[in-house]
Amino acid sequence: MASGSEDFNHWGPKHLSSVDWHNAEHRRSVSACLVKGAYVLESDRQETRGGSQCLAPPWWEAFNFKLVYQLVDDVDDSIFGAIFEYNPPAYTYHRSPDRSPQYVFAFRGTVKKERSFSRDLDLNLGVVLNGLHESSRFKTAMKAVQDVVSVVGCSNVWLTGHSQGASTAMLAGKNMAKRGSFLEAYLFNPPFVSAPIERVKDGKLRHGLRFAGTLIKAGLAFAAADHNNSKGIEDSFTVISGWIPCLFVNPLDPICAEYIGYFEHRRKLEDMGAGKLARLTSQHSLGNIAMNAVGLKGFQTSEPLHLLPSANLTVNLSSTRDLSKDHGINQWWRPDLNLSCRVYKY
């Protein structure tokens, strides 16, 4: 991220002078700004900006948050996330309860700066190979989430993240959901590890490719199935199906666009009466099946990170055909977005 895009006074949401926590647009915009704050925290560190020179604080202070903890990677000492506490203005203290959080965990994605880029790339590979859960960075994040939730309760904690950070937030949310704690989550451009079928312009061809892939996936899943492991994945999907994270994707971003087809194809199969097939294949990825088949033991008991039973999916139709913008966090607080929203339940 260039320093020019880190200045809140120039790039922040000027239209958001006050926050209505019942407004979905406001919740989305503030969550995205907190993630931006996590990005700029790391940039401040690498650029050795201190005191009044720091660019990060306005990204949370503008919405009455304070930084209570920085999440630091033990490998390269980079700041990969932050915990923010909401301090509402005095005039709101006596109002009826609203939808505001008490604490928000915000996780950044890849920073293209020398002192963290190598580590970020390693973790991006971990996302692709379904090994993020084994990284020390994720374990640090997971422990922090568990510790805060144990004190203040799940209803007072939000998760948010962008790109790789969205994967971290998603995995933390899934783990907490398995324990019965459903955390509100705002996941921006979350990676979906799959062939970019959503980029195929012809709708019939796109549907045909997905249907063929579904049949192949189902056949491989049955052929390679370890009954106990398959049953475990199915049970896990059922357990967390009540968790409905908010996903924000751009159809021209190949990193996250497949979520659109993933949920829509499952809905179409269910409408066709193939609900059992839809539920089976939505729990598996071809990559994960392939890794299991060739004996990569580390992946045989791990569930594909990017697969979700339920989600509130928001698609940004205001695409720019510029990957840096279509994948960027800055798009998500713009007031003029053309959005399509749909809730998918398992």
Model-wide pTM > 0.85: yes
Distances (CA, A) of 22 to 98, 248, 304: 7, 18, 33
Domain that holds residue 28: 1-188
With respect to residue 236, please indicate whether it lies within any of the assigned structural domains. no
With respect to residue 183, please indicate whether it lies within any of the assigned structural domains. yes
With respect to residue 290, please indicate whether it lies within any of the assigned structural domains. no
The token duo for 155 is: 């209803």
How many structural domains comprise the chain?
1
Q: Contact, 186 vs 160, CB < 8 A?
A: yes
With respect to residue 20, please indicate whether it lies within any of the assigned structural domains. yes
With respect to residue 273, please indicate whether it lies within any of the assigned structural domains. no
Edge-to-edge strands of the sheet including 65-72?
Answer: 65-72, 79-86, 103-107, 157-162, 184-188, 246-249, 311-316, 339-344
With respect to residue 178, please indicate whether it lies within any of the assigned structural domains. yes
- 289-315: pLDDT as tens digits: 555 555 554 444 457 788 899 999 999
- 208-260: pLDDT as tens digits: 666 566 656 556 555 555 544 555 556 778 899 999 999 999 999 999 999 99
